Amino acid sequence: MAGQTNVAHVDLRTVEEVKKVLTYAKIQPSEFKPFVQCINFSESLENENLKLLEIDASIMDSLVEGQQVVIRGDKADGAVLCTEEKTYELKEAETSNSLLILPDCVTDNLTSDGELTINHLQVISSLKTYYEMKPCKAKLEKLRHVLEENIYSGQECEDDEAHQGKKYTTEDLLDIVQASEKELFAGLKKLNICFINGYWRMLDFDFKSQVLSHVLQLSEEEDGWMDSGVPLDACCQILEELYLRCVIEHVLKCYTDEVDGATGKLYKLSEDKVCAFFAELTLRNAGKFNLAEFLEVWKQCVPEGMTTNLRQTEGIALVSRESKPEVIWYFSAEDLPEDLAERFSILFQAQGKWTLDEITPYLKDLETGKLDVSSMLLKYARASTQNAQKIYTSRKPVI
């Protein structure tokens, strides 16, 4: 008889006893396969050492393909499970029925012929809870916070006391940020984080402004660079005396679009990206700025040939049309929390009334496959119509 090892010291049913039970149950031999599995409980159940996960087809495929599946989270975090591409929220669920763990249970390739045999099974665990998983957005808020511990301001500043905070490798970030590897790299790209000497570093805004100014100055001096695009190698060779090549390349790619040139890849300066940068540069420490004056100053800042447009300040600044004179001020979507309730509270503190076009840039990054901006507004905002335009205000009193 098959599989009788490692079973607790109990009286095991014989073939004759099994046949008697089947007879009492009025089950004919033609109604079952000649392979019976008898269940016995272990003398000591491992209920604390085993946990059950309910996984979907995507996670199963990842495991079958040999991909790494990791549970991430500090003590203060709710646990998440990450594949190489997705993040899932883990929550404990209860079931009214006991879930029995039977390691040697046979469920397939059973023959319909032959003599009756018995497989004695041992229940090693009996559980009433399991973990269910729900796809969720990567929790990237911590990424920005940890990278702000040691902002890069140039090689000459690396020995300063202000630049002795912890630096993070990819492995370090995967250990502490609740995101899949794919989502982590997407977050690093969105925050414009630079990879310097094996570490991910956030660039100091003033330092980045300095590098970009040199790139723009060089582009204006060199024939054809403004119109056709900047050759990466030539740009780096000229500026490498001032900055690390990886920094030059990073800043260049942040404010350009890759295009095909006659001799290879070129990087054409993006009007929208460059104009948005100079809008932020002008507003960052200015407080509320007279809108008309800002538009004139901004226009003078950008490279010749580029045209400014208030659309380029979406997610960077807010405009108050109700104040006299009209004003604009720095208000970055990147500084807002990931928690939706907290974000809406901050948004309505900053401005009591919003149009859809105004508020969308401050919510777009929280969209998922099941949650769009309209759904967020339906839950957290109240809609009304003023002067034939839909306006959104807070559902709760603004503190």
Task: With CA atoms as reference, report the closest residue to 143 among 376, 329, 365, 342.
Answer: 365
Do 195 and 222 lie in a common domain? no
Q: Please, what sign has the CA dihedral across residues 152, 156, 157, 161?
A: positive
Angstrom distance (rounded) from CA 322 to CA 185: 41
Q: Provide the domain count of the chain.
A: 5
User: Is 23 part of any domain?
Assistant: yes
pTM of the model: 0.81
Give the domain-ending residue among 335, 366, 383.
335
User: Is 2 part of any domain?
Assistant: no
User: Is 311 part of any domain?
Assistant: yes
Q: Are 318 and 331 in contact (CB under 8 A)?
A: yes
User: What angle do the packed helices 340-350 and 373-380 form, to 10 degrees?
Assistant: 80
Report helix, strand or coil for 18.
helix
What is the per-residue burial (b if ≥16 Cβ within 10 Å, else e) of 341-360?
eebbbebbeebeebeeebbb
53-54/125-136 β-pairing:
parallel
User: Is 234 part of any domain?
Assistant: yes
Angstrom distance (rounded) from CA 313 to CA 280: 8
Do 27 and 103 lie in a common domain? yes
Per-residue pLDDT of the chain (399 residues; tens, 9 = 90+): 344 444 545 678 888 888 888 888 888 877 888 888 888 888 888 888 888 889 888 889 888 998 889 999 888 888 899 999 999 999 999 988 888 888 878 877 777 777 788 888 888 888 889 999 998 889 999 999 999 999 999 999 988 877 888 999 999 999 999 999 999 999 999 999 999 999 999 999 999 999 999 999 999 999 989 989 999 999 999 999 999 999 999 999 999 999 987 777 899 999 999 999 999 999 998 889 999 999 999 999 999 999 999 999 999 999 998 888 999 999 999 999 999 999 999 999 999 999 999 999 999 999 887 889 999 999 999 999 988 899 999 998 877
User: Is 262 part of any domain?
Assistant: no
Angstrom distance (rounded) from CA 12 to CA 39: 9
Count of CB atoms situated within 10 Å of the CB of 219: 21
DSSP class of residue 22 equals H
Which range of residues forms the domain containing residue 23?
15-135
Q: In angstroms, how far is CA 52 from the centroid of its own chain?
A: 25
Across the strands, what pairs with 130?
A: 93
